[in-house]
Each structure stands twice: as structure tokens, then as C-alpha cells.
Structure 1
Amino acid sequence: MRPALLDPLFADVTSIAGVGAKVAALLATLLVNPGSTVGPRVRDLVFHLPSSLVDRRKRGEIATAPDGTIVTLTVRIDRHQAPGRAAKSAPYRVYAHDETGEIALTYFRAQPQWMEKLLPVGETMLVSGKVEWFNGRPAMVHPDFVAPLAEAESLPLVEPVYPLTAGLTAKVLRKAVTGALERLPALPEWQDPSVTARQTFPTFADALQRLHNPADPIDLDPSAAALRRLAYDEFLAAQLALALSRQRIKKAKGRALLGDGQIRARILAALPFRLTEAQVGALAEIHADMAEDDRMLRLLQGDVGSGKTVVALLAMAAAAEAGAQSALLAPTEILARQHAAGLGPLCEAAGLSLTLLTGRDSGRARAEKLEAIASGRTDIVVGTHALFQDDVDYRDLGLVVVDEQHRFGVHQRLSLTRKGRQPDLLVMTATPIPRTLVLAAFGDMDVSRLTGKPAGRKPIATVAVPVERIGSVVERARQAIAAGEKLYWVCPLVEESEKSDLMAAQERYETLAAHLGADLVGLVHGQMKGEEKDAAMAAFKDGRTRLIVATTVIEVGVDVPDASIIVIEHAERFGLAQLHQLRGRVGRGDRPSSCVLLYRAPLGEVAKARLEVMRDTEDGFRIAEEDLKLRGEGDLLGTKQSGLPGFRIARIEHHGDLLEIARDDARLIIARDPELKSERGAALRLLLYLFGKDDAVRLLRAG
């Protein structure tokens, strides 16, 4: 049960004076994640922080007001210009002047009587808002604030500006936030006194008051104490939740999986290459974990093509030597099939039996596979989430390997390991994640990193080309196909939407098919059925088609070793991590490979920096760190679709230094007070609820 002390913060926003059903609906679009079944709460308003502030101390003059900045002007109202009846959608303009020039105060859908009352002709007024210059003439659209000079003295000189949504005014939101802050109960301090002293943190309540009532722009700075305090609270809640999940997984005793090395030796003998130093090191860590009684909880981070799958196979071979089964979980059916096809010959050479189980299996074929798994006739099961459905029974599941972990969150990590006798867990990601983000998402895990590429991987020449030169890119594609090469052509969206000018995959497919020959061009995108996707990829793999137009479904793991060119359209719209993932689809065979980044000018600063990084380096870890600097963690790896935490207040690019402190603090708390029963433990339970980590509290109750 949530502590009663928090009830005022978890009340519906309609409990605040002035917030009715209509305003609540607008607040829902602003404050609540899409798909949430719960409407906005008082807490959501408390955590909805200002993004900037209006500083009315900055008085200006019309002639010198800079374009795009908020200024406060003292002006005399000259005349009103209402739109004619024929042009109802035209704006209502009020012209005013000071000693330096004239300005138009512009309103849309304004009532003339109301306007004449608001801005009486001949009156000297104080107006505040953003000045914009058009053709040498200044205008202020919908001033934030208007008052006669005499009344203006009573106004706040500094006022916070909040992110808004269509239909919600700043005034209504501000009133609702003030009402929410009044509900804030007196909460006990959950932070360690040494941390608050060292970081000079204010209390939780003081930090919120300071952010919602800033006296100066510095109060809203990410490096200011108030914002850092709340960021640390959020990090600590997240790290505590991870530490509790780690405790839960570790508490259920594992077992030592010790093998004699025979099966591993057969696999190594069958490999057409030698393991890299990084692979040998990672395997040593994994095998040491597996030999312990405690359960393994390890993240294997490797760049695109660093050889993670071989490491996973050798871990599964060690489990088989100890008489246990392994499950390899892939995020998509295409990948599951690919893993099964790639690992099959090596398993055969080593005497291991492998079963592919997907949602598509049915009838007798599925029954036979389930029997092979339940009887222990199969050593390794490869598949999607279908591996963990209720009717799948393992004789003895000892190791679970999860591919592309950022698609699965902490709770999936727990559910995956409920099958079998507390199996070890090895999680792999080909998305190089910056160190701070690894802490944020995988604070409950030990980490191994595969750096460098296996022998034989070719460097990829990367060029950026403006979209105006697309004709020459298509011509180059024609020559490449004639020379026997294969190409990927990546588009960001599936079909042209009204909201976007992105070239649709469907349309690009049609134009390329017309230029290069319909029988040579294939298409694969996320809205196709599984069978259609598989058929399109198989035709490309077999060489029946030579160019495949794709959306980002090919981003993760699709393996066509003889594809040597990738064209990425609208490259400026992709994040660095995603561009790097896509580029990793080529350079896997023995041909020299290239990546063409097609962009639409003019490029913004961030897009320009992104394309430069792509040209400069193929080191995924460096790319990930640069991406974090350029974009912040919110977009990295598409947090919304992944198991990665999206933080509401904290910004990893600004507050990353606090993450490590939070992780160490969380682990120390759990070591000293595993049930959170002490006085501080009780306060920390409040923190978990406040930041939406209710699941972690349930873990405590479940023991």
C-alpha cells in the first residue's frame, strides 16, 4: 500500500481549484505518457518544471529590441486595426509607439470590444513579449503581459515559463502548479546527510519552490543546486529500484555451471578465425561468473560486428557441458531465424542440438519442439518472447542469453529468469552505450565490453552527399549492381504522411524499381507481415534482388555479408547511434564497403556535427559519447521504445556525475537495510513511490 502521507500528491488534478475536466484533458496530453491508463496526478504538476523565465527587469526600446527575444516595453497606444469582414482569419493589430519607433501588437481571433478595453487608445502601457522583425518592422504576437503603467508596478518582475500544449494558457497552468505545490506534504529527508552536505543540496521542498518561483535565470540552470537535488533524487530512485531487482535475482540462489571444456574446444576448432583478445577476456569473466553459486547478471557490450554471438555460443556450450539448457532470446523473428541459421553449423560440429521456436510454430511441429525442450533433447533454444510462454517447459534451463537488451526493461529481465532453476543471465547489446547510460539502465548488472572488430572486418568509407545529387547516387547504385554488389537503401518512414516531408520507403522503392529494374529491387518495412519480411530478406540474401529499400527494421543485426553499400536517406534526421547501427550492416564481407549519408541542406549545428563524427570514426563507443553530448539522453536509443529509463527531471548530459554516487549509495543502502525497514528506509520507500518505482516496492513485499 502506498503510504497515506503521499495521498495528496497522487490525487487527480481535478481536485485542484480551477482544474475541471477540460483543463485536466489538456494536462493529460502535456504530463502523461501516451498509452498510460492513469490520468494526470497532482505529483505530475509538481514535477512539471519551468523551461525558462520572463525577466521583466529587462526594459527595452522598440528600435533596439533584438529579434526573437522577450522584452518589456513602455508604449503609448495609437490606433486599432480590426480585420475586415471578408478577412476574418486576418489578425487584429494594435499600433503603439515609444520615442524610438512604432510596433504592431498582433492578436488572432480577437474580439474588438475586448481589445479596446484591454489596450485603450491614448493610454501609456507596459507590454511584455517576444519581439519579431518582419521586413524591417517590429511586431509582438500575443504579448505575454499587458497592463497600464500605474498597475504594472504590482506585477512580478520575474516569472517562470512552462512547456505548454495547444489550448492551455500559461495563466491556467501557473495557477494549477501553484495549487499543486500547496498540496506538498512535509516529507522526511531520504538523502544521506554526507551527500547533501557535500553537494550543498537544499531540501526536496525547497528545491521545488526555488524552481517553480525562480528569482533569476541562474535558478533554472542545470548546474544549480535545486535542479541537481531533484536530479539526484530521481537517479537514486532509479538506482534503488535496480539494486532491489539485482538483490531479488541474486537472492534466489543460483548454481555453479562447471564444464570440462570439451564442447567449447570443438567449437573453437570449427571457427574459421581466432578469438580476439577482447573476446577471450569477456569469456573469462563470463565463465568465472557461471562457476560461482551466485547467479550471473552480466551485460556484454560490443560494437556492431565485435563478435558477441560467438561469445554467447561459448557461454551456452559451457552450460551444456554442465548438463544445463540455454535459451537465446532475440527481439525480432528475423533475428531469431538468423541466429539459428548462423549458429546451426557450429552447434552441429560441436554435437549440440539447437531448436528454433517462434510465434509462427503451430500444430504438430510446435508440439514436437516443445517435447524436445521439455525432455532435454535440445541443448539450445533460440527464439523471440515465445520462449517464455506458459506452455514452454524446460528440463533444466541454466542460462538465458538476451540479444539487444535495450529492447527489454528490468521487469522483463526478472520474468525471463522465472523459468528453470534460477538460470544465469547474460544480456548483449550491439548498441554502444555511454558509461553513464550503462549505469542508468543496467546499474543492476556487471559489465563486459568488447572493443575492436574481429580480424577480416573491412573499414567502411563514409561520405555525406546533399540530396540534390541523388541522381548520381542512383547511377552509382546501377554501376555497383552491374559489378555484382548488393546495396541497402534506408528511408526513415513507410508512407508519405501529411506531417512529414520525408521520402517514403514505398515511394523510393517505386522510383528505384523504375530506374534499376523491378526484379532487382526489394522492399522491407515494419508494417509488413513477418512472412513478407522474411521473403524480402531471403530474396536479397540469395541475390535474387540486388538492392533492398528498407526502413530501420534492418537496424538491428540483419546479416547479409556480401552487401557492401548502404545509402541512408535524410541522414540528418537520424541519431548518431542509429546511423552507426545502420552503417554496421555493411563491411561484413571481403569487399571494400561504403556508406552514403544523403542529407537535405541547410544543416543545423547538431546535424552537421553528427555527420562529421560519422565521417571521422567507426568506433561505436566514441560515437555513443558524442551522441550523448549532442542530443542528451532523452533521444539516445529511442528511450520511449526501449527498456532504457527516460528521466523526467535529470539530464544525463548535465547530471551524469551524480549517477555513480547514486548507484554506490543505492548498493550501500541495500547492503545495510535490504528490506528498507530503518527510518531512512521508510523515507526511501516514499521516494520510490514519488518517482513511479512502485514495482520496486512490490519486489520488497514479494521478498
Structure 2
Amino acid sequence: MPADASGLDALLERVLGKPTAKGLATLGLATVGDLLRHYPRRYVEPGERTSIADLEVGAHVTVVAQVERATVRTMRARSGAILAVVVSDGVNSLDLSFFARHAGALRPHESRLVPGRLAQFSGTVSEYRGTLQLTHPDYEVIEDVEGLDEMPPTPIYPATAQMPSWKTARAVHAVLPALVDGLPEPVPVEVRARRGLMPLPEAIRTVHAPAKVADAYRARRTLRFEEALVLQTELARRRHAALVLSATPRPRPEGPSLVADLDARLPFDLTAGQVAVGEEIAADLARAHPMQRLLQGDVGSGKTLVALRAMLQVVDAGGQAVLLAPTEVLAQQHHRTLTALLGPLAEAGMLGDLGPDGAERATRVALLTGSLGAAATREALLDAASGRAGIVVGTHALLSERVQFADLGLVVVDEQHRFGVEQRDALRSRGDDVPHMLVMTATPIPRTVAMTVFGDLEVSTLTEVPAGRAGITSHVVWADRPAWVQRVWQVVHDHVAAGERVFVVCPRITGDDASSSDDADLLDDLAAQLGGAAPGGSAHGDSPQGAGGPTPPARRAVEDVVRELEAMPVLGGAAVGTLHGRMASEDRDRAMAAFLEGRTQILVATTVIEVGVDVPLATVMVILDADVFGISQLHQLRGRVGRGTLPGTCFLVTRAEEGSDAAERLTHLAGTTDGFELALLDLSVRREGDVLGASQSGGASSLRLLRVVKDADLIAEAREEATDLVAADPTLAEFPALAAAVEARLRDVETAFLDRG
């Protein structure tokens, strides 16, 4: 069978039959091409045993071990028989249990699993009376033990209960010979030669059937480079395409300006980083092609002020700017912040008119969200369409066709990962010229992640925190230590008594509904991510941990916690408020206003407060069930306190076992406030595709072998090659296989994964 597109696109059901295809479907594999690109996650050398000591309860594993004993007996507590098998890696043992209605049904297993025999066993690890075990594992006996030294390595594939590793291996080898030699080659021959890479057919064959483990890892490097080159080529094409787009230049005026007036009224000096990044953005805005820049900075680094100065430069030049926020809470917060920073500079009529209170130059900041009343909506729409508002702040309501602008010159997108590409492009396409684009993120992004995903954007980074910020101290609190928990609530009381504010964060809204997570939360995704490891599973298993594991304890819910705090004597009747994404907009507004004004001292909320909420008197945050949140998300949450001159304290309350991975992550978080260090830690425990933002397209990570931190040097090499290829041939007409691979990537992942600018 030739390896043309039809061969690779052939459905597995037609090629391998329904039973095998059904099992492979549990791995997300539907076509022959999917199967060929389903790579082994590790290799077992001939005779190598799996370390039983490293197995984790709940993990689905493939274990290579030797049978020590096997015994069939009748069960005492109920009818039926059990085959109890003990296998060993030479140091530790593992129990295997097989059940049947009568002993005779177990004899075939007993005859194969004789002492001394080596086999592969696949199943979910459980614990019974303190001993690890596999119940009814699939297994494959290794018959030729004497010839083990001459045998090739055994590939171990990501597996499910329905599809153990060796069944996947058989399926791969059934299609490999007929298809592999004719595979299209995306990497140009001169690039392969320059980088010392295998031809693709050789790499695919070797990764699935290596003669030596070293050969497999050389093949994997070739496949990682191919993956990086395809990704970087599309990013290079987008950078090239942006150069031919036109935009209205918005240079900073030589004389008096709104930017200068804002700087003069600030009660503090800009940090050196804010000045430097501001100059980069100012230069971009003055050019005749659209700015495409990512502005990243840690919590409290002053990104909003940098964005405001950019928006004012556009207003000074006669244009308008839009600030697009992912939630109404954040949009309202931005509107309050910008208005407060501008003061009388935000109280003008038409663009360029004289403002009140002596402001010679002024503009107006309009707010447009879906929950505004009819009269307020009409006024905001008129402000935007007439140009009376130089700055318009809003949510997805700004994307409506009825929202028109007089002269849209700049779009600022806050918290980019919360928006789909279609939403952002709806604004970007407004007007005759493409507006300039500034993407802000408060989630620190390691350099290689930025290069991989935001590779078509210039990146500016704020590393300093403005003077006057008192900082945050974090503590891990074990929920099973009552004295520690009681001390937390005593600290809450003391700060409330001093006139300060306290956030209490919960992962759920209600406790009686498993699907009651906040529509503004990412908790369901994060729980799934934290339940699994990198693509392909845990360090020792073959599928995400947690499959078949014990049911986790119920997570704390806002409604339950509010009742508990109101009845807690130590809090002395402090006023407790509620904030979550299911509340009506006007109720959320009232809740935030009460908290800001001190009518509510304690606010129990979901992660709707994760970004942007600014309450200067908020000094304490208590995060319940902290272990179910992602590291970067916890870092964003605790950034809501200590934003004024008073120091902040964050308590990370957890039911995780001390010494567990979850507990170690929280301890690491408590030990540093360096967001970039924490982002790297987050990458180690979350699927990289989710960190990169693949979740906005509704799918899991599309990265197969490429790892954006581990493969930094390789990605840089691919970026260099891709840039040269696109510069020489922007349409990739001379490289049809590479062009086809890029198009296939876009179909698979959606443009949203790549198109960040």
C-alpha cells in the first residue's frame, strides 16, 4: 500500500478491524497516520525490570517483572476462586490477582505464570492492606528468555485499560512496513544534512522498532526537530505577512501630550523597565505596519500603566484604543483603574477638546459590557462611534457588529489565554487599516514558551515591581492540623480588626454539585491537568495518573464556607461577602463595591478574582484546597493582596499529604515570589499544551515529542531555519511537503494555537 495521503488518512477500523480500532480510539487514535505518530514513551532494555518501588497508586502501568509464585485457592468470604501471583523486580514485589467463578477457569493463567518466568504486565495500580497490586492485569509472557541479550529494546506506549502497550505495538507493526517508506518529508534535505537528522521514514521506523535504545533517541531528536520546524515555519510566515500589512502610524507628539500630562500627575516614578518597554511600544506605534507585541510581567509589575501610556499615545495621534478584558469583573476593574489614574484627563468631550479642572488635553474612558442597561449601552456605543471616547474598555460585548469606532488605532488584549482567536480577530479587522495590537499577560512565560507560541510577536518583559509595594509572604497550612487552621482564622480576625480586607478562595461554588465550578474558573481543566502528567502519562505509568484511583475528597465550596465563617466565633461577626461568576453582573458590582468600601471585610470567592482585581487594603488571602489549583494560577491569586503599602499574607490550605508531589509544589510556591521560576515549575507538572493555551481551542496538547523548555536549543535551531526558508520562499512553493505539514497542523490545532497576534 503506497504511503499517500489516502493511506495515512485510512480509518483504523478498515485497516485493523473494529476491536483493535475501538481500543486505539481510547488513545485518541482514529487513522493510520495517527497511529504512526503515536510514539513510544520509553523503552525497556532486554531483561530490564521495572522498578516496583516507583509505582504510584492509581497509575496505569506496564511492568516488566519475574514471577516468584502463583497459587490458586478458593475464596473464603464469597464464592469463586482467586489466582494470587507475586512478581518481583529483584528488589521489591508486586501482587497480581485474578478472579473467576471456579478454579478451573484460572488454570490457563496459572500454567503460563510459572515461577521464574519473565512477563510484561499492564494494569492500574491499587493498594490492598498496605501492599501494591494489579487486579486482572493484561500480560504478555516473554518466551525467549535465553535470547534476551540479542533482543531489541521493547517500546512501551502510552496505554489505557482497553489498549495495553503490546497491543498498540502489534497494531503499529501491522501498518508500518506498508506505509513508512513513502512518507512525505517536511524537512528539506539541506536542512536535514545541516542538522544531522535522519530521513523521516527512517526516523519513524526507528522510533517504533529500534535496534538499540540510542537509535531510538536519535530518531526522536529528528521527530522533535520536524515538529519544531513545522511550528516555527508557520510563525515565520505570520511574521513575514505582518510586514506587508499597513497600519496608521501613531507617533508620540513632539510637544505637550496626554502621555506627558499623565506622567506629570503620577504620584510615583516609572520603573526603569516601564520606561524601556514604553519606548519599544512607542517606536512600534509610530511605524506604518501594525505593532504585534506581547507585554508580559509578573504580578504587580505595572503592565496596566504601560498599556495606558500606549493607548494615550494613540489618542494623542487622533485615534482610539480598546482594552479587551476576559471577564466583566476585570473590565470594570480596568475602567476604575484607568479613570483613577487619568483623573481630569478622562473627563473630556470630543477628542482633543479642552477638559475640565484645568486639563488642557483630555479624553474619555467608556465601559461597554454585556450587562449594562439600555441607556448606558446607548451612551457607550455613541461614545465609541463618535470618537468621544478615546479609550473603550469592555468584554466580548465589544466584538458585536453593532459596536463601531471612529478610528480604532490600538487593541490591547488582557489575559490573552482567555480569548479565542475569532474573538480577538473580530476587533483586529475593524477599519480600513489593521490596528496595532498589544497582548498582555500576567502569567510569566519562559523564553522558549514565548518563542514557540508567541513567536510571531515581539516580546517585552517587565521584571521590576513598582516602589512602595510591600510584598507577600506565603505559608502552607495542613488542613489536618486543627491548631494551624485555627491560627489562620485568628490572623484573619486580627487583620479585619485593623480595618483591612481578606479574600477566601474556594475551588467550587456549591458543594453538592460536581459540575458547579465557576464559569469564570479554570478549575475543571486544572484538576484534569494535575491528575495527569506530561503527554503519555506519569513517570512510571503509561496513562495519566488517577485513572481508577481513589475518589478525591469533596472540594471546598463558596456557599458552604460563607456559612462556616459567619458562624465562626473567632471572627467576631465580621461581614462576609460572596463573589463568583454565576452571580448577576449587578450583584457582582455590589459585592466588589461593598468589599472596597469596607462594608464587607471578608470576601469568599472563586477564581473570578484571579487577575486584575485591585483592593489596596486587601492584605490576607486564604486559599482552600490550594493543591487543586495550578502553580501559576495560585501565583496570580495571591497577587491580589499586598498591592498597597501594607504587606500581604497568603495561606495555602491543603489536604495533600506532606511529602507528596502536590505538597512539594505548594512548598516551592511559598518559598519564592519569582513568577518565571514558578512558570517553569508549572510546566513540569502541567501538560505543556495547556500552559501554551491549547485549551482555548478545546483540545489537549498537540505537542507530541517537543518540549518547549527541555528542547530550547532545538527550537532555536528550527526557528533559524524556518526564518531563512520563509525569507527565501514565503509561499513555500519549493517545499510542498513542509507547506502541507503546516496546513495539517493548522487544521488539527486550529489557528488559535498559533495566531496570538
**Residues 127 and 229 (structure 1 numbering): CA distance in 2 closer, same or farther, change over 3 Å?**
same
Q: Secondary structure at the match of 1:463?
A: strand
State the distance in 2 between where 1:500 and 1:136 align. 20
Q: 1:102 to 1:533 in 2, by over 3 A?
A: closer
Structure 2: give runs of 5+ residues left out of the alignment: 56-61, 348-358, 515-550
1:533 equivalent among 588, 613, 628: 588
Greater shift, 279-288 or 521-530, is seen at 521-530
Match of 1:476? 491
User: Which residue of the other structure, out of 445, 448, 452, is the alignment partner of 1:433?
Assistant: 445
1:587 aligns to 2:642 (yes or no): yes
Match of 2:559 in 1: 506
How far 1:29 sits from its partner (Å)?
4.4
Corresponding residue for 1:676? Answer: 732
| Contact in 2 for aligned 1:262/1:321 (Cα 8 Å) | yes
- For residues 130-189 of structure 1, give each alpha carbon's deviation from its aligned partner in whole angstroms, at most 9, with x where no partner exists: 699988999775465455968997997743222223433445433333345344462343
| Residue pair 1:82, 1:93 contacting (<8 A) in 2 also | no
Question: Which residue identity is paired with 1:449?
Answer: T
Residue pairs, 1:619-658, within 5 angstroms: 619-628=674-683, 633-634=688-689, 636=691, 639-641=694-696, 647-658=703-714
609 and 84 in structure 1: CA distance in 2 versus 1, 3 angstrom threshold: closer
Conserved? CA contact 2:329–2:608, under 8 Å? no
State the match for 2:155 in structure 1.
Answer: 160
Aligned-residue offset at 1:493: 3.4
Which residue identity does 2:567 align to in structure 1? Answer: A
How does 1:390-539 map onto structure 2 within 5 Å? 390-408=401-419, 413-420=424-431, 421-467=433-479, 468=481, 469-496=484-511, 497=514, 499-515=552-568, 516=571, 520-539=575-594
What CA deviation, in whole Å up to 9, does each residue of 1:389-434 have, x standing for no partner? Answer: 2222222111111111232355655443111221111111111111
Whole-angstrom CA distance in 2 between matches of 1:75 and 1:590: 66
Distance 2:92 2:322 in 1: 75
Within 5 Å, which residues of 2 pair with 1:123-522? 126-129=117-120, 141-142=135-136, 144-145=138-139, 147=141, 158-181=153-176, 182-184=178-180, 186-193=182-189, 195-216=191-212, 218=214, 224-260=217-253, 261-345=256-340, 346=342, 347-348=346-347, 350-361=361-372, 363-408=374-419, 413-420=424-431, 421-467=433-479, 468=481, 469-496=484-511, 497=514, 499-515=552-568, 516=571, 520-522=575-577
Q: Which digits, 9 at most, give the CA deviation of each residue in 1:664-683, with x for residues without a partner? A: 222222221111111x2x12
Matches of 1:650 and 1:619, distance apart in 2: 26
* CA–CA distance in structure 2, aligned partners of residues 437 and 633 of structure 1: 9
**What root-mean-square deviation, in Å, do the aligned CA atoms of Structure 1 and Structure 2 show?**
3.9
Q: Which amino acid aligns with 2:97?
A: T
- SS of 1:653's partner is coil
- Over the matched positions of the two proteins, sequence identity in percent amounts to 40
Say if 1:59 and 1:187 are closer, same or farther in 2 by CA, change over 3 A: closer
* Equivalent position of 1:688 in the other structure: 742
How much has 1:533 moved relative to structure 2?
3.2
Residue of structure 2 equivalent to 1:48: 38
**Which string of whole-angstrom CA distances, capped at 9 and with x for unpartnered residues, describes residues 280-335 of structure 1?**
11111111111111211111112111111111111111111211111111111111
8 Å contact 1:264–1:318 — kept in the other structure?
yes
Q: Per-residue displacement from partner, 1:579-635 (whole Å, max 9, x unpaired)? A: 221121111112222122223353346445534443443232333344445657355
The answer to whether the 8 Å contact 1:74/1:98 transfers is no
* 8 Å Cα contact 2:65/2:87 also seen in 1: no
**Paired residue type of 1:488:** F
User: Which AA in structure 1 matches 2:576?
Assistant: V
SS of the residue 2:201 aligns to: helix
Distance 2:243 2:712 in 1: 27
Gaps of 5+ in 1: 33-39
CA distance in 1, matches of 2:251, 2:131: 79
Report which stretch shifted further, 621-630 or 142-151.
Answer: 142-151
- SS of 1:119's equivalent in the other structure is helix
Report the residue type matching 1:479 in the other structure: D
Distance 2:54 2:273 in 1: 55
Distance 1:581 1:646, change over 3 A: farther
Separation (CA, whole Å) in 2 of partners of 1:381 and 1:325? 8
Paired letter, 1:116: R
Q: Which amino acid in the other structure matches residue 721 of structure 2?
A: D
How far, CA to CA, are the matches of 1:56 and 1:617 in structure 2? 44
* Partner amino acid, structure 1, of 2:15: I
Q: May I ask how many residue pairs the two structures share in their alignment?
A: 678
Following superposition, the deviation at residue 225 of structure 1 comes to 2.1
TM-score by length of 1: 0.85
In 2, are the aligned partners of 1:632 and 1:652 still within 8 Å (CA)? Answer: no
Task: Tell me how far apart the structure 1 counterparts of residues 565 and 749 of structure 2 sit (CA, whole Å).
Answer: 50
SS at match of 2:160: coil
Give the secondary structure class of the aligned counterpart of 1:654.
Answer: coil
CA distance in 1, matches of 2:247, 2:142: 75
The DSSP-based 3-state class of the residue aligned with 1:160 is strand
Give the AA of the match of 1:296. Answer: M
Aligned with 1:550 (options 605, 609, 614): 605
Distance 1:271 1:150 in 2: 79
Preserved contact between residue 357 and residue 381 of structure 1 (Cα < 8 Å): yes
The residue number in structure 2 matching 1:35 is none
Cα distance in 2 between the residues matched to 1:28 and 1:148: 27
Deviates more, 1:377-386 or 1:536-545: 536-545
Question: Which residue of the partner structure matches residue 8 of structure 1?
Answer: 7
Q: Distance between the aligned counterparts of 1:611 and 1:244, measured in 2?
A: 41
Specify whether residues 204 and 95 from structure 1 end up closer, same or farther in structure 2 by C-alpha distance, changes over 3 A only.
Answer: closer
Distance 2:723 2:659 in 1: 42
Secondary structure at the counterpart of residue 229 of structure 1: helix
Shift of the 638–538 alpha-carbon distance from structure 1 to 2, 3 Å rule, reads: farther
SS at match of 2:651: strand
